[in-house]
């Protein structure tokens, strides 16, 4: 099988690395890729958001499977174009990708499907903003209705900050989504979907804020871990039954069947799991941790999804233990990142590239905000954390920064769902 992965981040490096271990894969390419993917796959320049450009490359290269990593190409219809050319493609249609591309559309689908989520209101006129804000908060949750690479949301107890973010979005021509605040720890559940059949992967948790202790602005994600040792028994089955399957069925009812990876971002509240958001693709940085534990051959699995044969695929196999991902970001991120810095120590095991490029002299240079993801695996979270941070100490990026508390609270047993037996034990102890 000839597999072409579209994208250039650490998520795509993780996908390419996992696909390289699949015995069915005979050729592997990544477009446009990065300095890390170049060591295990052919590199091809492509405008990833252009359906005709991706389709032309897939045809010319002779791809048997195209895997679209980022959300923007999916929202722009890249998967539709590739499938129209007769090439199996892992990734939803543009119509189905609206589940991420428009938060208002996602809310409409969830309401129709009876899926638990936060109360919400869309504001597209500044004249309506103040009255709408008065119907929410504190705490206020203010989101960009469209794609924002994980950085379009502000969660704050400060009315002025909430209003300022909403005004900035509206001034930029972006509708604003206001939501009620949901209590409880957050979790991410990736589900493979072929239009009807749903197969969940391991649950994970990511860290959006830039600083230790969840302080500072939101980012695209500064780290993640999987699985969740604090998750109540039966959590994944409950999420699939109450949230993912009804959403998939509702999309199919609308004639917009979802095929690809449906990512449910969840708040595990005292009233059960509630959806914070849906994404239409593998999440970054959770993918790096989740795929670090997957033993099932990935390309064969994704091909089964792309060809509507997921129900026929054997049960997924997972390595025991845990995985932790820590993101190394460039100076200035999540604002304007510094670029073109020399990176050393980035070729070690568990180091996945994102914002990197190979210079003419062979050195690796930074080219984006989130530069590297370092993945550690171990028998438990503490061992996986130790491995990830040990590897990270050998990597040098001038001005680079990372969080030091990824998975720390979970490793210490300090995370629990409100109202659970674990919460009561923690409170009484």
213 phi/psi in degrees, rounded to 5: 75, 15
Q: Name every residue whose Cβ is closer than 8 Å to that of residue 160 and which is 6 or more positions away in sequence.
A: none
Judge whether 56 and 82 are in contact, CB under 8 Å.
no
Judge whether 212 and 403 are in contact, CB under 8 Å.
yes
Q: Compute the average pLDDT of residues 224-236.
A: 97
Judge whether 341 and 366 are in contact, CB under 8 Å.
yes
| Residues β-bridged to residue 344 | 396
Query: Which percentage of the chain shows pLDDT scores above 70?
Result: 97
Judge whether 386 and 152 are in contact, CB under 8 Å.
no
Q: Of the given ranges (12-26, 65-79, 149-163, 349-363), which has the lowest mean pLDDT? A: 149-163
In Å, how far from its chain's centre is CA 252?
23
Q: What are the structural domain ranges in the chain?
A: 2-93, 121-179
- Cβ atoms within 10 A of the Cβ of 336, count? 10
pLDDT tens digits, 134-143: 998 789 999 8
CATH no. for 121-179: 3.30.1490.20
Cite the beta strand spans of 227-304 per DSSP E.
Answer: 259-269, 272-279
Judge whether 156 and 195 are in contact, CB under 8 Å.
no
Residue 419 has pLDDT above 50, yes or no: yes
Separation of alpha carbons 295 and 288, rounded Å: 14
Judge whether 258 and 250 are in contact, CB under 8 Å.
no
pTM of structure: 0.90
Q: Vertex 393, ends 387 and 394: CA angle to 5°?
A: 100
Nearest by Cα to 79 from 109, 48, 102: 48
Task: Please report which residue ranges of 183-255 form alpha helices under DSSP H.
Answer: 235-239, 245-253
Separation of alpha carbons 343 and 340, rounded Å: 9
Judge whether 356 and 30 are in contact, CB under 8 Å.
no
Residue 251 has pLDDT above 70, yes or no: yes
Three-state secondary structure call for residue 176: strand
**Which pair of structure tokens corresponds to residue 380?**
């438990």
pLDDT at position 143 = 87
pLDDT at position 151 = 55
139 phi/psi in degrees, rounded to 5: -85, 145
Residue 428 pLDDT level (bands cut at 50, 70, 90): very low
Task: Please report which residue ranges of 286-398 form alpha helices under DSSP H.
Answer: 286-291, 298-306, 381-392
pLDDT at position 148 = 62
Judge whether 306 and 259 are in contact, CB under 8 Å.
yes
Residue 424 pLDDT level (bands cut at 50, 70, 90): very low
Average predicted confidence (pLDDT) for the chain: 94
Task: Give the CATH architecture of domain 2-93.
Answer: 3-Layer(aba) Sandwich (3.40)
Most trustworthy range by pLDDT among 100-109, 135-144, 178-187, 315-324: 315-324
- Cβ atoms within 10 A of the Cβ of 3, count? 28
């Amino acid at each position: 099988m000839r597999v072409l992965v579209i994208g250039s981040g650490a998520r795509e490096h993780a996908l390419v690395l996992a696909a390289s271990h699949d015995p069915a894969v005979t050729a592997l390419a990544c477009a446009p890729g990065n300095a890390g993917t170049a060591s295990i796959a052919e590199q091809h320049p492509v405008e990833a958001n252009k359906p005709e450009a991706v389709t032309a490359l897939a045809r010319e290269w002779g791809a048997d499977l195209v895997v679209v990593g980022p959300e923007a190409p999916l929202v722009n219809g890249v998967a539709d174009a590739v499938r129209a050319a007769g090439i199996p493609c892992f990734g939803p249609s543009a119509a189905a990708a609206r589940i991420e591309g428009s938060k208002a559309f996602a809310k409409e689908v969830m309401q129709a499907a009876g899926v638990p989520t936060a109360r919400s209101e869309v504001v597209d006129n500044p004249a309506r903003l103040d009255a709408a804000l008065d119907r929410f908060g504190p705490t206020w949750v203010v989101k960009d209705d469209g794609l924002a690479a994980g950085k379009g949301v502000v969660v704050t107890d400060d009315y002025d900050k909430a209003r300022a973010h909403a005004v900035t979005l509206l001034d930029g021509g972006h509708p604003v989504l206001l939501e009620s605040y949901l209590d409880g720890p957050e979790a991410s559940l990736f589900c493979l979907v072929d239009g009807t059949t749903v197969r969940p992967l391991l649950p994970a948790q990511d860290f959006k804020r830039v600083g230790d202790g969840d302080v500072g602005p939101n980012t695209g994600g500064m780290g993640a871990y999987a699985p969740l040792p604090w998750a109540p028994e039966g959590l994944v089955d409950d999420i699939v039954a109450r949230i993912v399957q009804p959403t998939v069925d509702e999309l199919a009812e609308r004639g917009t069947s979802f095929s690809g990876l449906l990512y449910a971002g969840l708040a595990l509240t005292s009233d059960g799991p509630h959806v914070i958001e849906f994404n239409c693709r593998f999440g970054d940085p959770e993918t790096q941790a989740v795929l670090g534990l997957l033993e099932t051959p990935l390309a064969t699995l994704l091909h089964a999804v792309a060809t509507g044969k997921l129900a026929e695929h054997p049960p997924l196999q997972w390595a025991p233990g845990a995985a932790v991902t820590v993101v190394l970001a460039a100076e200035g991120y999540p604002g304007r990142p510094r670029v073109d810095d020399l990176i050393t120590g980035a070729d070690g095991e568990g180091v996945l590239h994102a914002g990197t490029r190979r210079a003419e002299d062979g050195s690796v240079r930074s080219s984006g905000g989130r530069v590297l993801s370092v993945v550690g695996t171990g028998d438990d979270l503490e061992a996986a954390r130790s491995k990830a941070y040990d590897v990270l100490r050998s990597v040098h990026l001038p001005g680079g920064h990372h969080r030091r508390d990824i998975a720390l609270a979970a490793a210490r047993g300090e995370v629990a769902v409100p109202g659970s037996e674990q919460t009561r034990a923690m409170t009484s102890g």
